[in-house]
Structure 1
Amino acid sequence: MAGRSGNEDLFDDILLADEKFRGEGYLEGFERGTRRGLQDGRRHGASHGAKLSTEISFYSGFTVTWRCLLQHNADVKSRKRMKALDALLGLIQSSPHDDPQSAQLQEHMGKLRAKFRQVCSMLSVPTDFTDYIRTSEGTSF
């Protein structure tokens, strides 16, 4: 095989440059995509965390308020309601909401919502608070 001509070297340089620029473009796009994904993930996580925090705070305020309203009643019905409110408060206090990585967070929130509905039923209070509570996007929990 004889030496290469100038045309072949030029053609090889063009092919190598195309490969080089494609690789650099891929890496740059991958890095930008990674940064954007992290930013979007943080924003979504903060929004979801704020909604959960608002919901748990509402349940806590609801429970404390009803406990104050019922604390001086001694009848059997009020004692049962207080017991249910205490159970709800216990669920709120044991909530893993301070650990967003907790695998039990969704399961715990399901239990918390179910207990809240039970307490509302015992108190003859509607569970639909959409007219009173709105998150920043206009949706309610």
Structure 2
Amino acid sequence: MVTRKKISGSGSMDSAGDIFDSSLNLEETHYQEGYKEGYNHGIATGKEEGREVGLKTGFETGEELGFYKGCVDVWNSAIQVDPTRFSSRIQKNIKQMQELIQKYPVMDPENETVQEIMEALRLKFRVIRAALGVKLEYNGYPKPVDIEF
């Protein structure tokens, strides 16, 4: 820390010290300005990136839920046409899958049960698929193919 002595009367040491103070504090001033700019920029871009990630994740989740709902609807339609089409065990699994879909908190993505329910849906889907002996899979939304030159 720099200490200055004030000379009585003229005060010339203070004015010379003030000139050097601005030079000595220049680095700190620029650091603080840069920090403030960076912080503000981070807040703005963080919100934007968070929104984009949220939309993408929400779309993917909705798409997967829709796929499972479509499967359940088709299986239930087949059961209505021919109630003996599937065994009672398969019908029970289809009903449980339908209940899981209805239980999924679509409007509350921060609900702690979302992962648990989604994992249960995936498992139930695999069980039904295996019991029916079908090669049905959820692959997600088609991703663009990377072309290398």
TM-score strictly above 0.5: yes
In structure 1, runs of 5+ residues without a counterpart are: none
Q: Which has the larger displacement, 69-78 or 102-111?
A: 69-78
Deviates more, 1:84-93 or 1:16-25: 16-25
- C-alpha RMSD of the superposition: 2.2
SS in 2 for 1:57: helix
Equivalence for 2:30: 21
Unaligned runs of 5+ in 2: none
Correspondence list, 1:64-103, <5 A = 64-75=73-84, 77-103=86-112
> Quick one: distance in 2 between partners of 1:137 and 1:114?
24
Deviations 1:33-88 (A, max 9, x none): 12111111111111011001000001001110111112233438433322221111
What residue number does 1:56 align with?
A: 65
Indicate the structure with greater helix content: 1
* Percentage of pairs with the same residue: 30
TM-score calculated relative to the size of structure 1: 0.83
Separation (CA, whole Å) in 1 of partners of 2:138 and 2:41: 42
Length, aligned pairs only: 136
Q: Which secondary structure does the structure 2 equivalent of 1:112 belong to? A: helix
Larger Rg over CA atoms: 2
The one of 1, 8, 12 equivalent to 2:17 is 8
When normalised by structure 2's length, the TM-score is 0.79
